[in-house]
Structure 1
Amino acid sequence: MNTYEKLQEEACKDGIDVIDYPFESNGIKGLYCNGTVAIRDNIDTTTEKACVLAEELGHHYTSIGNIIDMEYTGNRKQERQARLWGYNRSIGLFGLIRAYEHGCKDKYEIAEYLDVTEEYLEDCIDCYRDKYGEYKTVDNYTIYFIPNLMILKKL
């Protein structure tokens, strides 16, 4: 079972419908509304679909009301929270550590190992940099976000 199928199963267990939808705007990959996630029907890979679904599930678990208008600070905060939920679900600090322990040497290998797109991984790292700053220590590991992603294990 791939990551997208696992997320679909998780959504189903929580009573969330996931449907493919032919959005007219090319700028929309997914939307969440009232217990339904719509995913663009012509997304090429299940990896990208999983990234979109993770964020939209983040909206289910963290957002309230209509937040489409990004002119409002509260809506932008809710958008960030939903994305952070998706990043934590799909990647997470421990996911970065697992990738390091698996021997992944660059962002391409990390993205492939975690079954996310490189763009999604980059966005996650940017979000973590904004949240944690230069680095974050987890157990015996230090994850550096500045200047580039780097993970060191304390001996």
Structure 2
Amino acid sequence: MPYEKLLKKYDKDVRVKEKPLKYGFKGLYKNGKVIIDSNIETSCEKACILAEELGHHFTSYGDIIDQNDIRNIKQEIRARNWAYEKQVGIVAIINSYESGVRDRYELAEYLGVTDQFLIDAIEYYKSKYGTYYEINNYIIYFSPNFGVMKLF
């Protein structure tokens, strides 16, 4: 989902501000407030960052900045997985195939996500479903190569 649509869809759940962030942070979440680094140049990357911060809103609790604590790592993963499901949903992958998308780069553009976010989402689905997932008349392959096949 594009950045502006995410902002609009979740405006009752969180307040989002853009401002410069330090120490390599691209986004932060705390108590219903999200900060997105204003130095991020593309709305595509902002959407990916915002989706993850929304994932924190809906799945996390407390201060999880210390990533040496396994509990915090688990919450970080849960928030990222939430973002993958929202931005790179199984149905959206099938819809992209039906729209003529045939490779990973076209898919990232179609979904409005960065290439790395898409790669990470595919890895997430691979860990969740294995090498492929079958739904309705489609098979989505996650490994060894990503692809969609329509069954006859």
Paired with 1:64 and 1:139, the residues of 2 have a C-alpha distance of: 36
Q: Greater relative contact order: 1 or 2 (C-alpha under 8 angstroms, separation 6 or more)?
A: 2
In the alignment, is residue 128 of structure 1 matched against residue 117 of structure 2? Answer: no
Tell me what 1:20 maps to.
18
Helix, strand or coil at the partner of 2:144? coil
Identify the match of residue 40 of structure 2 among 40, 43, 52: 43
In the alignment, is residue 8 of structure 1 matched against residue 22 of structure 2? Answer: no
Tell me what 2:73 maps to.
76
Helix, strand or coil at the partner of 2:11? helix
**After the TM superposition, which residues 85-96 of structure 1 pair with which residues of structure 2 at under 5 Å, given as runs?**
85-96=82-93
What residue ranges of structure 2 are gaps of 5+ in the alignment? none
Deviations 1:120-141 (A, max 9, x none): 1111111111111111112211
Normalized against structure 1, the TM-score is what?
0.93
Identify the match of residue 54 of structure 1 among 47, 51, 54: 51
1:154 CA displacement: 1.3
1:13 CA displacement: 2.2
Paired with 2:97 and 2:68, the residues of 1 have a C-alpha distance of: 39
1:69 CA displacement: 1.5
Paired with 1:74 and 1:53, the residues of 2 have a C-alpha distance of: 22
CA contact (8 A) 1:111 1:121 kept: yes
State the Cα RMSD in Å: 1.2
CA contact (8 A) 1:11 1:18 kept: no
Deviations 1:19-72 (A, max 9, x none): 0121122x2110111110100011011111011000100000000111111222
Helix, strand or coil at the partner of 2:85? helix
* Residue correspondences, number: 152
What residue ranges of structure 1 are gaps of 5+ in the alignment? none
Normalized against structure 2, the TM-score is what?
0.95
Percent of aligned pairs with the same amino acid: 50
List 4+ stretches of structure 1 deviating above 6 A: none
